[in-house]
Structure 1
């Protein structure tokens, strides 16, 4: 493969004609919260109802899933939300999968003028970014895929680093992710939810987080399209409006997903219900595990609605 910047490599390796996410279903490579349990969609459905009320129950309510994989979250929401006002749309670069419900739209870009809820679950970590490293003089330079240093980072990237990630040896400049998130929300009215693993300014890693995944295992990132290429998201730099930033563990607990085990006495009176609730408790525990998925961040951003009306 030709030597390039990591942003160019990510764009080509993940989203090119034979890119990783064009070929591979995300669920075949790693587990996101949407793949673990329908409890995530239940929490999202609760948000839908609250945003719907905040918007005054519009004639059409958009539910847009950016980076939808193969539509797993939307399929679950379709079952839980029977109101025909709800219009479900997947945003995904891969072709529409066979067998997905006909009433789920499939687009490559967020449509204009959406009104309702936008969800992006582990999308931003795969938005290509420039990886920078300081040289011997302390100058931020673009890291190339062969490990050498390229040209100096451009002034906008340097400004972003100075504001959001001033202390680093190697870092992923989140400017492209900030722009992608804001572009996705342009013209949107309602609530937007980004769920991802990330960090905030007071906890930025000194050496960055660039890595790869293949078949559920962490591997070195490969620019040839054979691996996922990902890096944690600078979550606090994304929003420019009214927003809430909270861990997935705390967000789900606020929405009633606690992971509490059913009482053992239920096994004697209603064993089937006991087993169902025990399975649900295990799934909730995985979703809220602070050392795993529960450590992901939820960014809830309001556009024309009060976030406090939609999220407790």
Structure 2
């Protein structure tokens, strides 16, 4: 007998022995994010940190919170990239369900929940797509019904009627009939995280869609060992679905700013342009370094890959735009 997708994802990802809590391997062993793709990504976020710090008037303590921190790769990189004067004031916090990894920088605090108060920058890179959600589907009579899934095989069946709250969310945020990935749980999670920021900014980075581009068949899928696989919620693969970014952004009480990653990174100086060929004749080593950097930047800004991710930007108590 199947259960709702939200409960199935919660168990498969965060239950005992779940995909994100086991110690044997980390997310980076199964899928490639911007954090893993290139240090240019961390370098761009370091610039964002510096700008938020300046907008705050360089406070004595700057909270740098990474929600869904993986194995702490981003915070580790930021601690190395930020100016020394700022690093002395930064309090890095990793929010992650998995145990603290061995050898992590001792300055990074590790916890399972978002701090109650943040003054600085809260970042969530590919976190919302792993917040469990329910799925509903229109039956032959035009009614929305819950989609149930077998935790061992991934086989789906239609269950009872969708809850009134699910019907309301679908009517407001999903165009047309068909399969609906109900983003209300993501909305609540993001709104709660943003609310913790007293002054500074919150930045969510994820793949997603807006109402006018919702996929009629949904996006629920799985990843294991670098390959896309069927989303079987047995704990052996990542189970993920794209984020309804417009809904999540508005759930905070303000629409904030929605920017494609390719545009945000280009505004921060990350360009995939090839270096001038003349450099190869004058300084071959520098040319090769520049060429490698251009390749990494191209991956981060690709319109059909990582560059299509959305940046959800919410400044709180400061006037700072990404564009």
Same fold, judged at TM 0.5 (above)? yes
Q: Which residue of 2 aligns with 1:286?
A: 299
**What is the Cα deviation at residue 79 of structure 1?**
0.3
For the structure 1 residues 242 and 210, does the alpha-carbon distance in structure 2 shift closer, same or farther, using more than 3 Å as the test?
closer
| SS of corresponding position for 1:238 | helix
Which digits, 9 at most, give the CA deviation of each residue in 1:73-126, with x for residues without a partner?
Answer: 111101011321111111100000011110111111111110111111111001
Q: Distance in 1 between matches of 2:223 and 2:299?
A: 20
What is the CA distance between 1:208 and its match in structure 2?
0.8
- Number of the residue aligned with 1:246: 259
Which stretch shifts more, 257-266 or 119-128?
A: 257-266
SS of 1:106's equivalent in the other structure is: strand
Q: Is residue 260 of structure 2 the alignment partner of residue 213 of structure 1?
A: no
1:234-289 deviation line (CA, Å, top 9, x unaligned): 00011221511111111111111011111122122222222211111110000001
8 Å CA contact 1:43, 1:252 repeated in 2: yes
- Residues 252 and 288, structure 1, Cα contact 8 Å, conserved in 2: yes
1:150 is matched with which residue: 154, 159, 165?
159
Equivalent of 1:103, from 95, 101, 107?
107
Aligned to 1:180: 189
Select the residue among 133, 145, 169 that pairs with 1:141.
Answer: 145
8 Å CA contact retained: 1:242, 1:302:
no
The residue number in structure 2 matching 1:165 is: 174
State the shift of 1:136 in Å: 1.6
Return the alpha-carbon distance in structure 2 between the equivalents of residues 306 and 3 of structure 1.
48
Take 2:136 and 2:121, find their aligned partners in 1: how far apart are those partners? 34
Q: Is the 8 A contact 2:55 2:320 kept in 1?
A: no
In 2, distance between residues paired with 1:7 and 1:190?
32
1:269 aligns with 2:282: yes
CA apart distance, 1:210: 0.8
The answer to whether residue 178 in structure 2 is matched with residue 203 in structure 1 is no
Distance 2:160 2:319 in 1: 44
**Alignment CA distance shift 1:181-1:233 (3 Å):** same
Match of 1:10 in 2: 9
Alpha-carbon distance, 1:3 to partner: 2.0
Gap regions ≥5 residues in structure 1: none
Secondary structure, aligned partner of 1:118: strand
Q: Give the paired residue count.
A: 309
| Cα deviation, residue 212, structure 1 | 0.8
Q: Does the Cα contact within 8 Å between 1:248 and 1:294 map onto a contact in 2?
A: yes
User: Would you say 1:255 and 2:254 are equivalent positions?
Assistant: no
Measure the CA separation in 2 of the matches of 1:77 and 1:261. 26
What's 2:152 paired with? none
**Structure 1 residue 305 displacement after superposition:** 1.8
**Pairs within 5 Å for 1:113-132:** 113-132=117-136
For the residue of structure 2 that corresponds to 1:20, the secondary structure is: coil
SS of 1:279 mapped into structure 2:
helix
C-alpha distance in 2 between matches for 1:176 and 1:271: 52
Find the aligned partners of 1:242 and 1:192 in 2 and give their Cα distance.
Answer: 12
Is the 1:62–1:117 Cα contact (8 Å) retained in structure 2?
yes
Which structure 2 residue ranges, 5 or more long, are not aligned?
A: 150-154
User: d(CA) in 1 for partners of 2:42 and 2:176?
Assistant: 38
Q: Which residue of 1 aligns with 2:20?
A: 21
**Cα separation, 1, equivalents of 2:59 and 2:290:** 35
